[in-house]
Amino acid sequence: MLVIDDNRDLAKLLSQHLSSRGFTVATAASGAAGLALAADLDPRLILLDLRLPDMSGLDVLGRLRVLLPAAEVVIITGYPEFSSALAAIKGRVVDYLCKPFRLGALDGALTRVFGAAEIGGTERPVREARVGRAALRMVGTSDASLALRVLIRQLAVTGVRAVLITGESGTGKDLAARLLHADGQRADGPFIAVNCSAVSETLFESEFFGHERGAFTGAVATRRGFVQMADGGTLFLDEVGEIPLSCQAKLLRFLDDQTLMRVGGGQSIQVDVQIVAATNLDLRAMVAQGAFRSDLFFRLNVAPIELTPLRERPQDILPLAAFCLDEANARYGKRVPGFTPEAERLIESSRWPGNVRELRNLVERLVILSMGAPIEARDLPAELFADAVVSALGSHVAAMSAAGAAPARSRRDVTTSLSEANRAHILEVLARVNGNKTQAAKMLGISRQTLRSKLTT
* Distance of alpha carbon 437 from alpha carbon 343, whole angstroms: 23
pLDDT attached to residue 217: 74
Q: What percent of the chain has pLDDT over 90?
A: 38
**Domain assignment of residue 245, given as a range:** 126-306
Same domain for 206 and 338, yes or no, is no
**Contact by Cβ (8 Å): 244, 284:** no
Which of 38-42, 73-77, 217-221 reaches the highest mean pLDDT? 73-77
Same domain flag for 228 and 82: no
Domain count, the chain: 3
Q: Which CATH number fits the domain that encloses residue 221?
A: 3.40.50.300
Give pLDDT, residue 117. Answer: 43
Q: What are phi and psi of 227, to 5 degrees?
A: -60, -45
The Cα–Cα gap between 303 and 334 comes to 41
Assign 111 a pLDDT band (cuts: 50, 70, 90).
confident
Angle among Cα 337, 339, 343 to the nearest 5 degrees reads: 165
CATH number at residue 44: 3.40.50.2300
Percent of the chain topping pLDDT 70 = 80
Question: Which pLDDT band holds residue 115 (cuts at 50, 70, 90)?
Answer: low
Q: Which of 289-298, 369-378, 420-429 has the lowest mean pLDDT?
A: 420-429
Over residues 61-66, the mean pLDDT reads 82
**What pLDDT does 140 receive?**
81
Query: What is the pLDDT, as a whole number, of residue 131?
Result: 47
Residue that finishes a domain, picked among 254, 289, 306: 306
Do 326 and 290 lie in one domain? The reply is no
- pLDDT tens per residue, range 84-108: 555 555 556 777 777 777 787 787 7
Q: Is the pLDDT of residue 147 over 60?
A: yes
56-70, 230-244, 441-455: segment of lowest average pLDDT: 441-455
Task: Average the pLDDT over each of 130-134, 196-200, 218-222, 442-446 and give the range with the smallest value.
Answer: 130-134
- Of 97-111, 233-247, 319-333, the range with the lowest mean pLDDT is 97-111
- Residues 233 and 289 occupy one common structural domain: yes
Domain shared by 153 and 77, yes or no: no
Q: Are 213 and 287 within one domain?
A: yes
Say if CB 163 and CB 305 are below 8 A apart: yes
pLDDT at position 301 is 95
Secondary structure string (H, E, C) spanning 57-119: HHHHHHHHHHHCCCCEEEEEECCCCHHHHHHHHHCCCCEEEECCCCHHHHHHHHHHHHCHHHC
Quick one: angle between helices 317-332 and 355-369, nearest 10?
A: 40
Q: Is the pLDDT of residue 417 over 60?
A: no
- 83-92, 152-161, 212-221, 233-242: least confidently modelled range: 83-92
CA 32, chain centre distance (Å): 21
pLDDT, tens digit, 9 for 90 and up, residues 171-187 = 999 999 998 998 888 88
Do the Cβ atoms of 410 and 370 come closer than 8 Å?
no
Lowest mean pLDDT among 96-105, 184-193, 380-389: 380-389
Question: Among the three residues 72, 89, 118, which one is the final residue of a domain in this structure?
Answer: 118
Domain of 396, CATH number, reads: 1.10.8.60
Q: What is the mean pLDDT of the chain?
A: 81
Residues 277-316 pLDDT 10s: 999 999 999 999 999 999 999 999 999 999 999 999 999 9
Tell whether 158 and 302 lie within a shared domain. Answer: yes
368 and 286 within one domain: no
Pick from 6-10, 265-269, 316-320, 389-393 the range whose average pLDDT is largest. Answer: 316-320
The count of C-alpha atoms lying within 13 angstroms of the C-alpha of 157, restricted to the half-sphere facing its C-beta, is: 6
Q: Are 157 and 183 in contact (CB under 8 A)?
A: yes
* Domain end among 83, 118, 153: 118
Residue 129 pLDDT greater than 60, yes or no: no
Does 374 share its domain with 272? no
Alpha-carbon distance 243 to 351, whole Å?
31
| Confidence at 216, pLDDT banded by 50, 70, 90 | confident
CA distances from 64 to 70, 89, 149, 302, 401 (A): 9, 14, 30, 40, 61
**Cβ 332 vs Cβ 324: under 8 Å:** no
The predicted pLDDT at position 270 comes to: 94
Q: Lowest-pLDDT range, 205-214, 384-393, 406-415?
A: 406-415
pLDDT of 432 above 70: no
Please indicate, yes or no, whether residues 11 and 64 belong to a single structural domain of this protein. yes
Residue 265 has pLDDT above 50, yes or no: yes
> Do 105 and 162 sit in the same domain of this protein?
no
The answer to whether residues 342 and 440 belong to one domain is yes
Q: Are strands 2-4 and 274-279 parallel, antiparallel or unpaired?
A: unpaired
Q: What's the rounded Cα separation, in Å, for the pair 302 and 318?
A: 34
Q: Which residue has the higher pLDDT, 448 or 432?
A: 448
pLDDT at 343 over 90: yes
